[in-house]
Amino acid sequence: MDLEDQLPSDDGDTADAASPSPGRSVCHAGCGRPSRVCLCPHLPPSPLPTSTTVVILHHPHALRRNPLSTLPLLARCLANLHLVPGRRLASSSSPALLPPPSPSGPVLFLYPSSAAADLATWCRATPPAARARPTLLLLDGTWRQAKEMRAASGAFLASLGTVPVALPVDGDSMFESELVVKKEPRKGCLSTMEAVARALRMLEPEGKGEEIEEVMVGVVRAMVAFQMEHVKHLTVAPRVKMRKKKELKREEVRSNAELN
């Protein structure tokens, strides 16, 4: 998202140390990454149970075209997680795709906007009984894709009575910290996995949320360490300047005139 979003992460078509290629040894029984950058030692022995139901609508290209996607790692970290592929949520498709929220729990749509309440403030202002067993809904794709997914899902989100919330921007984010995987468009940008971790710290019962956040952020930190080591040894070829057809046409006319 290229505006004010902290949620989806990871866009781009850059090559990654985690992208398997023919001949590479891959950890098929675990994280699915190349063996030399295996993250299994950093993952929990089994997915962590949470009282919060996490639902992520992810663009169909999020996994296929994005080697830095944190969705596969999220699936290994959280038991109460539902990954929904698609470009929008609608009433016609939601029964098959979107798990129903808890009868008494709120549905929180984590997507910063002018209408979004700060999640920490919302938690402090909402009685524990009114925010028990919430559903946390996020979008995952490129910055542009997430904006389009939000617009396309607007009517359905309104019908769910979702509460728009956003994470506080305190500077401790993927954008400025050692957790940076790639250059983000603005301060406060988080990968999907880090956004979920920060949110669960506030939504889960006291003590448990901090433990879950620590485990999840530890996984991302290990992933970033592998990525930074890969980038450090990467030789980037100079980028060829793209020239417009009009410019080439003018040069051709000028050259012909000089010859005549």
Whether the per-residue pLDDT at 37 is higher than 50: the answer is yes
Whether the per-residue pLDDT at 138 is higher than 80: the answer is yes
Q: Which two tokens stand for residue 204?
A: 């889960």
Model pLDDT for residues 66-119, shown as the tens digit of each residue: 556 788 889 899 999 988 888 888 766 555 455 555 556 899 999 988 889 999
Model pLDDT for residues 197-254, shown as the tens digit of each residue: 999 999 999 889 999 999 999 988 888 888 777 666 666 555 555 666 777 778 788 8
Which is higher by pLDDT, 77 or 177?
77
Quote the pLDDT of residue 54.
92
Q: Residue 142 in contact with residue 8, Cβ under 8 Å?
A: yes
Quote the pLDDT of residue 93.
57
| Segment of 12-21, 81-90, 125-134 carrying the highest mean pLDDT | 125-134
Q: Residue 52 in contact with residue 134, Cβ under 8 Å?
A: yes
Whether the per-residue pLDDT at 10 is higher than 50: the answer is no
Lowest-pLDDT range of 59-63, 146-150, 173-177: 173-177
- Edge-to-edge strand ranges of the sheet holding 53-58: 81-85, 53-58, 135-140, 107-110, 163-166, 117-118
Quote the pLDDT of residue 104.
62
pTM of the full predicted structure? Answer: 0.72
Q: Residue 82 in contact with residue 55, Cβ under 8 Å?
A: yes
Dist. CA 135–CA 80, nearest whole Å: 10
Pairing of strands 81-85, 117-118: unpaired
Whether the per-residue pLDDT at 123 is higher than 50: the answer is yes
Q: pLDDT above 70 covers what percent of the chain? A: 67
